[in-house]
Chains A and B, each alone.
Chain A
Amino acid sequence: QVQLVQSGAEVKKPGASVKISCKTSEYLFVKSFLHWVRQAPGQGLEWMGIINPINPSGRTTVYAQKFQGRVSMTSDTSTNTVYMEMDNLRSEDTAVYYCARSYSTYDKFDYWGQGTLVTVSS
C-alpha cells in the first residue's frame, strides 16, 4: 500500500520557521516526484512546488512564485524523506500542508499524505 507519512502538527509564532517531513518507501522515493500543497482553514488547495527527491537541486525542483525565497524543499535519500521548510511565518500561513506524489513531473497526484496542520499564532 502506498504511503506518504507526514510529521505531526506544529504551532509556531509569527516570524519563526517550520520544517515538515514526508516519508515514503524506498521504491516510491526513486519513482516519484513529490509536491507540497496547502489548504488554509475552510479554503481550497494551493500548490507550492515540486521536488525531485533524488536530485533535489536539479531543474525539476520548482517553486510556485509566491513561495520562492521563503520555502525550501529538500530530501534525505538515507531515510526516503522529503522536507518542506518555510521561513518568516505569518498568520496567513496557518494551514494543513500536504505532500502528494506524482509519477512524473507533469502528472496527476495519485497519492497524498495525511496532512500536517501548521498553526501560526502569537
Chain B
Amino acid sequence: EAGVAQSPRYKIIEKRQSVAFWCNPISGHATLYWYQQILGQGPKLLIQFQNNGVVDDSQLPKDRFSAERLKGVDSTLKIQPAKLEDSAVYLCASSRGQGLAKNIQYFGAGTRLSVL
C-alpha cells in the first residue's frame, strides 16, 4: 500500500511570497489532516477534512492560509503572503475515517518551509 505523498520536500521563499503544498493521501482514506510542526514542538492541527468537507479549521490563520480538497482525494495548502514565523515542517496525514478505532493517522514525509 502506497503511503501519504507530499511535495515538495523542501521550499525556501522570501517573506511576503506565496507557496503551495500538495498532499495525496492513502487510497480510500476519507480523513485528511494538515499540521504545522515548528522545530522542537509537536504537530499543530491546521485543518481536518472528511472527504471534501472541512471538519475543523479553528487553528488555521485564515487571513493567509487556505486549503482545499476539491474531489475528496488530494489536497493543497497555500500560504499567501508568507511570514517569517511560518517557517516549519508542514505535515499531511490521512486516516480511514472518524471512528476512533479507525483514526490511526498515517503521515507523509512533510514539506520543510524556510521563509527568509
Pairing of A with B: no
* Chain B residues in the interface with A (C-beta under 8 A): none
